[in-house]
């Protein structure tokens, strides 16, 4: 049996959006088999993490070498329709605006063509030593621009 390595990035870029597949498991749902509202944020976070990995941005290296990393400053979520146990979902992620120390991202969670959830996130690149925003490294900005 051949198993795809988890060290390989999951998902793919289509056009100017990164897409990440998610399956809804029992643990993601409430007693009615509907995805619990907070889990949509987890799905969005996983897609953002895989997007960075796909683009070649190593968060672990940034944390250890640069003592810096992205943290969510603001998040806006709109629930349009529920997801259910065993659904196969796709989570998109695209950069909307890149500032000196922050990036605005737009995400959609879909089941096929149906948009279930819209998520807008502002992530700040934070110096973890003094807990203050710092410039996003130029190479990271260039990689993020590829999904704008």
State residue 61's pLDDT score: 72
Q: Which fold has domain 12-145?
A: Thiol Ester Dehydrase; Chain A (3.10.129)
The residue to which tokens 């950069």 are assigned: 95
CB 119 within 8 A of CB 108: yes
Reported pTM? 0.89
CA distance 135 to 76: 24
CA dihedral 19, 94, 51, 35 (to 10 degrees): -60
CA distance 16 to 143: 12
Tokens standing for 52? Answer: 């960075």
CA distance 44 to 39: 9
* Confidence bin at 115 (pLDDT 50/70/90): very high
Coil, strand, or helix at residue 77?
strand
CA distance 92 to 47: 7
CA distance 38 to 93: 18
User: Annotated catalytic sites, by residue?
Assistant: 30
Domain boundaries, the chain: 12-145
Q: pLDDT tens digit string along 66-88?
A: 788 899 999 999 999 999 999 99
CA 112-117-119 angle, to 5 degrees, is: 125
State residue 64's pLDDT score: 74
């Amino acid at each position: 049996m051949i198993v795809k390595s988890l060290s390989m990035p999951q998902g793919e870029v289509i056009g100017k959006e990164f897409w990440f597949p998610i399956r809804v498991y029992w643990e993601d749902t409430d007693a009615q088999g509907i995805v619990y509202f907070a889990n949509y944020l987890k799905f969005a976070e996983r897609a953002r993490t895989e997007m960075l990995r796909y683009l070649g941005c190593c968060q672990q290296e940034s944390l250890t070498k640069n003592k810096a990393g992205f943290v969510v400053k603001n998040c806006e979520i709109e629930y349009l329709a529920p997801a259910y146990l065993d659904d196969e979902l796709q989570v998109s992620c695209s950069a909307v605006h890149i500032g000196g120390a922050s990036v605005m991202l737009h995400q959609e969670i879909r089941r096929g063509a149906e948009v279930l959830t819209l998520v807008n996130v502002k992530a700040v690149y934070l110096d973890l030593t003094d807990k203050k925003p710092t410039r996003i490294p130029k190479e990271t900005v260039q990689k993020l621009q590829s999904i704008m």
